[in-house]
Amino acid sequence: MRYVECSSTTVAYERLIAGEADIIFTAGLSERQLQAAKDRGVELTLTPIGCEAFVFFVHNDNSVDNLDIESIKKIYSGQAKNWKEFGGSGRIRANQRYEDSGSQTALMSFMAGTKLMKAPGKTTMSTMGGIVREVSLYRNYESAIGFSFLFYTAEMAQNSDIKLLKVNGVYPSRESIANGTYPIASKFYAVTAGSDNPNVKAFIDWILSEQGQYIVQEVGYTPLFPNENINE
């Protein structure tokens, strides 16, 4: 029997590597997931099917609306500890996710070349919903910052108590992804591991077709397009 199942990024990669799934749709994999595939003798194929923005957000009552990339790296390396450095107020509470989650993998990629600080106690969230809720709670409004993907925050979480930050002065949107102005954009993938299901290739070919890319756009993502500002 064939069926579709929703799960976390971690579980999706585990099932794919174990041969329990034909195809998964996700952000890029972590080093541990890549090693797990190698240990099982599994070769993963990542086929780009659309584009997405990695976003940072704070509580609506935080006066900070914009951070540049270096400022975000200062926060997540532990060098910047108070919002006063960026025109706000209060001690910064920088939430993270568990290793191997899609958004934590994206954070680690973003921080490449800068050491990511160890998350303080009770600031590591098990789900993307958890990190959004933690930032939206009133008691944290002066301090909390979190991260996720544009699709999740805009289409799924839809929490009116948070606001997405501009990065380098550019607000994350499908338009700013498409025109290459939002600086933290990347591709997301259909990932396979040598399935013998004859429908897998046909399905991926359809996703990459004009009709498939239209569906990618309609559900809230940004379709593929030639743009050197999109990171592989």
**pLDDT (tens digit, 9 = 90+) per residue, 161-195?**
889 999 999 999 999 999 999 999 988 999 999 88
> Which pLDDT value is given to residue 158?
67
> Which pLDDT value is given to residue 38?
92
> Which pLDDT value is given to residue 228?
43
Q: Is the pLDDT of residue 129 over 90?
A: no
> Which pLDDT value is given to residue 11?
85
> Which pLDDT value is given to residue 73?
97
Instruction: Look up residue 80 and give its amino acid.
Output: A
**103 band by pLDDT with thresholds 50, 70 and 90:** confident
> Which pLDDT value is given to residue 34?
87
Rounded to a whole number of angstroms, the CA Rg of the chain reads 18
Q: Is the pLDDT of residue 57 over 80?
A: yes
Q: Residue 160, Cβ neighbours under 10 Å: how many?
A: 8
Q: DSSP letter at 41?
A: T
Task: Please tell me the distance from the alpha carbon of residue 185 to that of residue 150, in angstroms, as a whole number.
Answer: 10
Higher pLDDT, 122 or 198: 198
Task: Please tell me the distance from the alpha carbon of residue 226 to that of residue 49, in angstroms, as a whole number.
Answer: 12
Q: Is the pLDDT of residue 226 over 60?
A: no
Taking the whole predicted model, whether its pTM rises above 0.85 is answered as no
Taking residues 129-151, what's their average pLDDT? 71
> Which pLDDT value is given to residue 121?
63
Q: Which of 8, 42, 39, 1 is nearest to 25 (CA)?
A: 8
Q: Is the pLDDT of residue 47 over 90?
A: yes
Taking residues 125-154, what's their average pLDDT? 69
Alpha helices in the chain (DSSP H): 9-17, 31-39, 69-76, 102-110, 128-136, 150-151, 174-178, 199-207, 210-218
Q: DSSP letter at 75?
A: H
Q: What percent of the chain has pLDDT over 70?
A: 84
**101 band by pLDDT with thresholds 50, 70 and 90:** confident
